[in-house]
Amino acid sequence: MILREKLLTVFEKEMGNYVSGEELSRKLGVSRTAVWKQVSKLRELGYRIDGTTRSGYRYLGPPDILYPREVRRGLNTRFFGKEVLHFQRVGSTNQVALELARKGYPEGTLVVAEEQTAGRGRWRRPWLAPPGKALLFSLVLRPSLVPYRVPEVTLVTGASVARAIHEHTGLRVGIKWPNDLLYEGKKLCGILVEMEAAAEQVNYLVLGIGINVNQERDDFPPELQDTATSLRMILGEKVLRLPLLQRLLEILEDDYQEYCRDGFAPSRERWLGYQVTLGRRVRISVGGKEFSGEAAGVAEDGSLLLRLPGGDLISCNSGEVVL
């Protein structure tokens, strides 16, 4: 274990209490200067540590930065987030995760970034977020799945995110088919699933999730200011990203394992509990064509059933819905 890691372990045991530089140097078997250097380094990284060599140090906790060590600490999962790659700045976490998946990284590998310079959304739109304010991450998945069932995974994910947000903040968010999370009609989170597949079998999937956590209205580009929101804007206070990410990974892993074991039906039920699309008149664009009608239901494979004005029912397995 490197010295900094050992120091953090001691600090964590003594959370909130002063520990003298001398005691730390004895426990770690290094000089007080070496302790002081590591304390300075930890402070640079954003760890909250009060005090001086003279008074002793008091550990107050990690920063709300998604360092792999902090993501893994206390994370109650079997394989999601066991391998974590953290970037201060990266093009797109989905792109990185796709490359790692191609190289054989295991299921559950997590790529997380404070900032993306080429974040991507559905329909080749950019996904923008200022540094350190959003949750931006991607997971490598290796389900045994035929490609046409992949849209189910996006619905599974939407319901997991909605639940995690509810548990972490108390907010009830709605899901617009297939997987836009909305609060009072404004977008709070987007999910982008990308895959590498042969005709019959998915090789791997990358599940990319972007949650607007601590943005303020001005952090969004002007054209999104009336249609996007963040947890902070809704709650009126800053929200910690780290515990939200951890809880989300736990819920996602449970739901994903259930999906792999029992199929889509249980997730579909959960999804129905959050959805805000059904029963409404909607427009949907599918492959360059637009249809209007009533969102009548969601089929067993997650497709949206649209009742056209003439009464015909059509099934859409992808598309952009306007409520």
Instruction: Give contact residues for ligand BTN (rule: CB under 6 A).
Output: 92-94, 116, 119-122, 125, 127, 136-138, 180, 190-192, 208-210
For residue 253, give the nearest of 70, 66, 82 by alpha carbon. Answer: 82
DSSP code at position 54 = T
Question: For 179-213, b where at least 16 C-beta lie within 10 A, e where not — what string?
Answer: bbbbbeebbbbbbbbbbeeeeeebebbbbbbbbbb
Q: Specify the residue, 21 or 178, whose C-beta has the smaller distance to ligand BTN.
A: 178
Minimum distance of ligand BTN from residue 154's CB (angstroms)? 10
Helix (H) or strand (E) holding 197: strand 186-197
Minimum distance of ligand BTN from residue 60's CB (angstroms)? 30
Q: Specify the residue, 313 or 322, whose C-beta has the smaller distance to ligand BTN.
A: 322
CB 270 within 8 A of CB 158: no
Type of residue found at 49: I
Question: For 277-303, b where at least 16 C-beta lie within 10 A, e where not — what string?
Answer: beeeebebebeeeeeebbbebbeeebb
Minimum distance of ligand BTN from residue 178's CB (angstroms)? 10
Q: Specify the residue, 35 or 113, whose C-beta has the smaller distance to ligand BTN.
A: 113
Q: Specify the residue, 47 or 274, whose C-beta has the smaller distance to ligand BTN.
A: 274
Query: Of all residues in this chain, which one has the CB nearest to ligand BTN in the complex?
Result: 190
Distance, CA of 289 to CA of 277 (rounded, Å): 19
Q: Specify the residue, 36 or 87, whose C-beta has the smaller distance to ligand BTN.
A: 87
Q: Specify the residue, 125 or 280, whose C-beta has the smaller distance to ligand BTN.
A: 125
- Name the phi and psi angles at 147, rounded to 5: -55, -35
Minimum distance of ligand BTN from residue 7's CB (angstroms)? 32
- Name the phi and psi angles at 74, rounded to 5: 75, 10
- 305, β-bridge pairs: 297, 315
Minimum distance of ligand BTN from residue 176's CB (angstroms)? 10
Cβ neighbours for 322, distance < 8 A, ≥ 6 positions apart: 282, 283, 284, 285
Q: Specify the residue, 8 or 248, whose C-beta has the smaller distance to ligand BTN.
A: 248
Minimum distance of ligand BTN from residue 127's CB (angstroms)? 4
Minimum distance of ligand BTN from residue 75's CB (angstroms)? 19
Distance, CA of 38 to CA of 45 (rounded, Å): 11
CB 221 within 8 A of CB 130: no
Q: Specify the residue, 35 or 135, whose C-beta has the smaller distance to ligand BTN.
A: 135
Minimum distance of ligand BTN from residue 94's CB (angstroms)? 4
